[in-house]
Structure 1
């Protein structure tokens, strides 16, 4: 990954009335060390993040990503981010993205152990080439996430539904999927319902209705899924949120994993069983997702 830009942020209080945040930003060399050894983001994964897709210098769905950052902060008992400050930082970062596809990452950690304030920073890097995933599709396997559908409501301290830096389980799931001959995974609950992928939302199509698992079981509400649902509704399609049994995956008319950087990747097989692919619709989805979206 080619890093283009990094910006450290001195976090403003959420009620700070200022509108000029230049003095709170410090550009740093993205290839040089910038964190201390006591940083809790690296010691414990104690923090949150967002990944924003950038197309030809335009940061996509910034408002939705900032709102989700604030939501994750509330779940993790972190200080509320000053959203205008973060928006200004995104703007500064996007100016360094250049042509083509890039990714901006926003990171807010609890800071240095016993320190007075959080640590916050923004980076820009070139995005990977996801042409093959978008056009040829991906194979997925279902993996048990290890909790029941009602667990998040009973155990909010598990932080299910927050986009935390603790992604070791997510990465382990992708490695397991590859060991099984697939490209990605779809998490299921231990009582047999579909959740999401380790780094993406799931969308299914049955007839003319598009559906995604209801975001009430610790699912991270996807910004790309929300945007795509708005687009599909505008095209006259029905969209909805359902509690989806895992057995329904293999009988869908089509399925996609959608995310901010990979965009819409059609699912070609579930646990080895082939799934139909709507190539024209997939191409139309990705054309929309590559267009400027605020």
Structure 2
């Protein structure tokens, strides 16, 4: 694993970016990102030294920062940090560069930030054989982002305890992953992925107005489907829509598009050839 790359405030007398020794401590035990999960992150996939989806990730990074009232990330500094993290890491087939921004040590008003490059797990088997999923109630109505914006739905925060607990619950139920639903019956997202459904010639995904993340991979998947003549829409999706779909995928930057072959113990239809074509598109055009 390479050394963390630490962006610094441009107003500082120190260099804008420093390479840090990974064997020494860097984050204070008083940092609010550690003690309260008060921070944001993005993970960028790099294939063959190329990260062409960086624009979408930096835009979402900035959106998350705004929702948490964090300082606006300087895209030039973060681009440089990503490039340096990539170049500092030994060559591997697929690399993930994680960007982190926290509120910093409590009381200082100075944020903490770093970028870290690391090899990723190989998800090629999941893309071929599919995964088993359970639907779990997130506990919020579908309009929570409008009624209660302080709950930060739609921000990619470091507070992943709930997502991790949901994945452990999926494991207890004999499944691999989770699709969250709202308390009033609408499909939302997975803990680390967007949900895509095919109904005939229509490809659907739940709208971000339902308090879910803007999906960088989902948007590129829509480009693929539109080029093949499918109608793509972000529309409210119900549990019945999910069960009756001709195909369901979980789409994320690292795993790409993984077909869902089982929902709550019941088999779902899936299209292996379409999945292969979709992932070929994501790998060759939009490798994030």
Fold shared, TM-score > 0.5 on shorter chain: yes
Contact 1:201 1:258 in 2 (8 A): yes
In the alignment, which residue of structure 1 is the partner of 2:188?
195
**SS of alignment partner, residue 273 of structure 2:** helix
**Deviations 1:57-113 (CA, angstroms, capped at 9, x unpaired):** 112410000000000011000011111111111111222342301110000000111
Q: Distance in 2 between matches of 1:126 and 1:264?
A: 19
Contact 1:143 1:185 in 2 (8 A): yes
TM-score scaled by structure 1? 0.93
**Deviations 1:179-203 (CA, angstroms, capped at 9, x unpaired):** 1000000000011000000000000
**SS of alignment partner, residue 174 of structure 2:** coil
> Which residues in structure 2 correspond to 1:159-238 (within 5 Å)?
159-238=152-231
Contact 2:92 2:119 in 1 (8 A): no
Contact 1:12 1:81 in 2 (8 A): no
> Which residues in structure 2 correspond to 1:98-177 (within 5 Å)?
98-177=91-170
In the alignment, which residue of structure 2 is the partner of 1:266?
259
RMSD of the alignment, in Å? Answer: 1.7
In the alignment, which residue of structure 2 is the partner of 1:26?
18
**SS of alignment partner, residue 88 of structure 2:** coil
Where does structure 2 lack aligned partners over 5 or more consecutive residues?
Answer: none
Residues paired across the two proteins, number: 286
Where does structure 1 lack aligned partners over 5 or more consecutive residues?
Answer: 17-21
In the alignment, which residue of structure 1 is the partner of 2:67?
75
**SS of alignment partner, residue 221 of structure 1:** coil
Q: Distance in 1 between matches of 2:73 and 2:55?
A: 13
In the alignment, which residue of structure 2 is the partner of 1:59?
51
Deviates most, 118-127 or 79-88: 79-88
TM-score scaled by structure 2? 0.95
Contact 2:6 2:81 in 1 (8 A): no
Q: Distance in 2 between matches of 1:12 and 1:142?
A: 45
In the alignment, which residue of structure 2 is the partner of 1:12?
10
Q: Distance in 2 between matches of 1:266 and 1:30?
A: 36
Q: Distance in 2 between matches of 1:293 and 1:152?
A: 29
Q: Distance in 2 between matches of 1:251 and 1:5?
A: 47
In the alignment, which residue of structure 1 is the partner of 2:88?
96
**SS of alignment partner, residue 59 of structure 1:** coil
Check 1:177–1:159 CA distance in 2 against 1; reply closer, same or farther (3 A cut). same
Q: Distance in 1 between matches of 2:23 and 2:178?
A: 32
Q: Distance in 2 between matches of 1:102 and 1:63?
A: 17
Contact 2:192 2:252 in 1 (8 A): yes
Contact 1:4 1:126 in 2 (8 A): no
Structure 2 counterpart of 1:35, from 27, 32, 35: 27
Structure 2 counterpart of 1:289, from 263, 272, 282: 282
Runs of 4+, deviation exceeding 3 Å: none
Cα distance, 1:31 vs. partner? Answer: 4.1
Contact 2:137 2:181 in 1 (8 A): yes
Cα distance, 1:169 vs. partner? Answer: 0.4
**SS of alignment partner, residue 265 of structure 1:** strand
